[in-house]
Chains A and B, each alone.
Chain A
Amino acid sequence: MLAQLLNGLQYGLLLFLVASGLTLIFGVMGIINLAHGSLFMLGAYLAFLLTKATGSLWLALPAGLVGGIALGCLLERALFRHFAKREHLDQVMLTFALILLAEELRWFIAGNDFHAVPIPPMLDFSVPVTAGFSYSAYRFAVIGICLVLALAMFLWIERTRIGAAVRAAAENPEIVDILGLDARRIHLMVFALGTALAIVAGMLAAPLTSVYPGMGDGLLIISFVVVVIGGLGSIVGAFWSALLVGLVDTLGKAYGPAFQGTGPIGTTVAALAGSAVYLLMIAVLLWRPTGLFGQRT
């Protein structure tokens, strides 16, 4: 049970990295980016390739971070800046096209097979937690790294001037012009940050899940669920929502199947346990149509 709780926490924190970028990008720039999951996949494949080449995940991580920021800037300048003015339908279609193209790119570079990514040797052991239970050191490291990043984001958003500008822009995009802030710089920064976080999340996740075609898809949907539950544009909302979703999903998938075959109600519960997060989202939206920490009409 403790293992599942920790797994849920770790999954939730990774989700936070991905969802925080997503929520800022929509909140500040008004862009629905379905291809965000592909960035996660890109990060995972980068980890796979760089680890194969250099033998070390630790070298790959900073490369991913820097590369992610660079890629984010490039994508924003070249593509997403123009998407911002489009209708939702167009954005959905354009970013869906990007998902398909990203899958083709992945096939071209790494083929269609599952690839395992080795856990860094330094962390390839178990940490004893209680008598009779020990937990993967790597997973603890992931939790730690994510918490550090989350804390850094929180401080940046709450304590710095730029962070305050981003926060204001997320709540009320028109305010940016009124306050005389440079909208283009803020958009660029937000997009680059979101991209980099998604890539780093993918890199961290790679040793845990392996890399395979379509791995970004499932994560994308769940990330959107996190954003919807947490409320658009809210980092704090994304954080708590990600933890909630991570726990519900992990516990649901771990314990749901146990109900299978215990009569009709039990089997239904088992069937729905895998979709527990969707039910959670629907329940939240019935109560708060704009998410837990969301605002506006």
Chain B
Amino acid sequence: MIGPAHLLPKTWFGWALVALGFGILAVAPYFVTSFYVGLMTTAMIAGMLALSLQLLVGGAGLVSLGHGAFYGLAAYVVYFLSPEGAPQPIWITLPLAMAASGLAALLIGAISLRTKGFFFLMVTLAFGQLVYSIFHDTKLGGGTDGAYLARPLISAFGFTFEPSSLPRSKRSWPAYYVALVQLAAMFAVLAFLLRSMFGRALEGIRVNESRMRALGFNTYAFKLAAFTIAGTLAGAAGHMWAMQSGFVNPELAGWHRSAEALLHILLGGIGTLAGPIVGAFAFIFLNDFAQQITERKLLVEGAVILAAVLVMRNGIMGLRWPWAPPEADPDASEQQGDGIVRQARETVHD
């Protein structure tokens, strides 16, 4: 048997759980207060960023500490296009923000991917800091304090959605649903990529890159494609941040933000595609809860990281859940494998 794609659910039950998760998100605003709708939007945005990074980390084995650069850059592009008082429609801001991030990812990736391991970590960190410095040290985006922007308008085909048409308690809903749609779309896109032969090649690169090169794969090209796609998707996350929060600051591109995205992946589980989303939600809700008890944000964050790395080796998704499939039996999979192979041959000979 080929084996299921690495990060995707292995059983129909797993897929059903994913669908259930999105279903819950779809109806949640009807059951929670406006504050929590906003908090969940923030969690979904963090989930989008972590998900885009997972293509690199879980999908190709590339640990980047500079992913925030694409996130922050996209947010600033929204600010440039749609500054305070002059809002632009989303069908202009979103594609342009993603294109800018994608282009930056292509350039940065072309250089960074010539290095490996520790050096790759450091180069991506440096590029991230470069983008951070550009916004922090210059007047481009309002300098160290950042700037306010006009939230992009939800409009299409001449019809514009007016936020003020909603009652106050539901003002947070439009951003929520825009984020949810994007999160689901991103999940679908990544699932498609990971199931394809492109995703399989990335997995091979993750496992043994030099062997893949010897087999005939241009591993640099594959990694660059993944890096660019991941950067483009991070751009969507950054755009959504701008859309929800209404402001930008240089910290969006800083390495702390990049490290946090890695944390979400680790916390949720590096071995699944849903993990980063779960991790982002878990972390943001944990933080919110902790802040009601103590002011020591960094202490909480540090403790969570230690727990995630030292105790929960496979993240939340990796814990022994009652519905998890039993450990694979090598002999059983042998017979199973022969069955699938026979099926595949029969299909070809039809």
User: Are both chains from one complex?
Assistant: yes
Tell me, in angstroms, the Cα distance from A97 to B138 when the chains sit together. 30
The 14 sampled A-B contact pairs (Cβ below 8 Å) are: A93-B262, A93-B308, A97-B309, A98-B302, A100-B298, A101-B299, A221-B129, A227-B122, A271-B138, A275-B133, A281-B126, A285-B119, A286-B114, A289-B114
Tell me, in angstroms, the Cα distance from A98 to B301 when the chains sit together. 10
| A90 interface contact, C-beta 8 A | yes
| A175 interface contact, C-beta 8 A | no
Within 8 A of B (CB), among A65-116: 86, 88-90, 92-94, 96-101, 103-104, 107
| Residues of chain B within 8 A of A86, CB atoms compared | 309
| A206 interface contact, C-beta 8 A | no
CB distance from A3 to the nearest CB of B (A): 22
Q: How large is the interface on B (under 10, 10 to 19, 20 to 34, 35 or more residues)?
A: 35 or more
Within 8 A of A (CB), among B208-266: 255, 259, 262-263, 266
| Residues of chain B within 8 A of A93, CB atoms compared | 259, 262-263, 266, 305, 308-309
A89 partner, pick from B127, B129, B262, B306, beta carbons under 8 A: B262
Tell me, in angstroms, the Cα distance from A221 to B310 when the chains sit together. 25
B130 engages A97 (CB within 8 Å): no
B130 partner, pick from A270, A279, A289, beta carbons under 8 A: A279
Residue among B114, B122, B263 with the highest chain A CB neighbour number at 10 A: B122
Tell me, in angstroms, the Cα distance from A289 to B310 when the chains sit together. 32
A92 engages B63 (CB within 8 Å): yes
CB closest residue in chain B, given A105: B299
| Residues of chain B within 8 A of A225, CB atoms compared | 122, 126
| A224 interface contact, C-beta 8 A | yes
Q: Given A26-B118, A228-B119, check contact A271 B129 (CB 8 Å).
A: no
| B123 interface contact, C-beta 8 A | yes
CB closest residue in chain B, given A228: B122
CB distance from A237 to the nearest CB of B (A): 13
| Residues of chain B within 8 A of A100, CB atoms compared | 298-299, 301-302, 305
Tell me, in angstroms, the Cα distance from A98 to B305 when the chains sit together. 9
| B134 interface contact, C-beta 8 A | yes
CB closest residue in chain A, given B304: A97
B111 engages A88 (CB within 8 Å): no
A 147-190 binary contact with B (CB < 8 Å = 1; else 0): 00000000000000000000000000000000000000000000
Tell me, in angstroms, the Cα distance from A224 to B57 when the chains sit together. 21
Q: Report how many A-B pairs have Cβ atoms within 8 Å.
A: 110
Tell me, in angstroms, the Cα distance from A281 to B63 when the chains sit together. 19
CB closest residue in chain A, given B310: A94
Taking A93-B309, A97-B303, A228-B119 as given, write out 5 further A-B residue pairs in contact, using a Cβ cutoff of 8 Å, ordered by the A residue number.
A90-B309, A92-B259, A93-B266, A100-B298, A274-B137
A278 engages B122 (CB within 8 Å): no
A278 engages B129 (CB within 8 Å): yes
CB closest residue in chain B, given A270: B138
Tell me, in angstroms, the Cα distance from A103 to B259 when the chains sit together. 16
| A32 interface contact, C-beta 8 A | yes
A224 engages B122 (CB within 8 Å): yes
| Residues of chain B within 8 A of A275, CB atoms compared | 129-130, 133-134, 137
CB closest residue in chain B, given A272: B134
Q: What 8 pairs across the A-B complex have the smallest Cβ distances?
A: A100-B302, A97-B305, A275-B133, A100-B298, A271-B138, A101-B302, A97-B302, A274-B137
Tell me, in angstroms, the Cα distance from A120 to B306 when the chains sit together. 40
Q: Given A100-B298, A274-B137, A285-B115, check contact A92 B65 (CB 8 Å).
A: yes
CB distance from B61 to the nearest CB of A (A): 10
CB distance from B32 to the nearest CB of A (A): 29
B298 engages A101 (CB within 8 Å): yes
A96 engages B305 (CB within 8 Å): yes
Within 8 A of A (CB), among B93-145: 111, 114-115, 117-119, 121-123, 125-127, 129-130, 133-134, 137-138, 140
A 260-296 binary contact with B (CB < 8 Å = 1; else 0): 0000000100111011001101100110011100000
| Residues of chain A within 8 A of B299, CB atoms compared | 100-101, 104
B57 engages A285 (CB within 8 Å): no
A282 partner, pick from B65, B123, B263, beta carbons under 8 A: B123
| B345 interface contact, C-beta 8 A | no
Q: Given A94-B306, A101-B299, A281-B126, check contact A289 B115 (CB 8 Å).
A: yes
A286 engages B111 (CB within 8 Å): yes
| B296 interface contact, C-beta 8 A | yes
CB distance from B151 to the nearest CB of A (A): 27
CB distance from B263 to the nearest CB of A (A): 6
| A232 interface contact, C-beta 8 A | yes
Within 8 A of A (CB), among B273-318: 296, 298-299, 301-303, 305-306, 308-310
B63 engages A285 (CB within 8 Å): no
| Residues of chain A within 8 A of B309, CB atoms compared | 86, 90, 93-94, 97
B63 engages A88 (CB within 8 Å): yes
A271 engages B137 (CB within 8 Å): yes
Residue among A26, A94, A100, A281 with the highest chain B CB neighbour number at 10 A: A100
| Residues of chain A within 8 A of B138, CB atoms compared | 267, 270-271
Tell me, in angstroms, the Cα distance from A286 to B108 when the chains sit together. 12
A103 engages B298 (CB within 8 Å): yes
B140 engages A221 (CB within 8 Å): no
Tell me, in angstroms, the Cα distance from A286 to B107 when the chains sit together. 13
CB distance from A90 to the nearest CB of B (A): 5
| Residues of chain A within 8 A of B111, CB atoms compared | 282, 285-286
Residue among A32, A103, A275, A286 with the highest chain B CB neighbour number at 10 A: A275
CB distance from A255 to the nearest CB of B (A): 14
| Residues of chain A within 8 A of B266, CB atoms compared | 89-90, 93
CB distance from A109 to the nearest CB of B (A): 14
B119 partner, pick from A103, A272, A278, A290, beta carbons under 8 A: A290
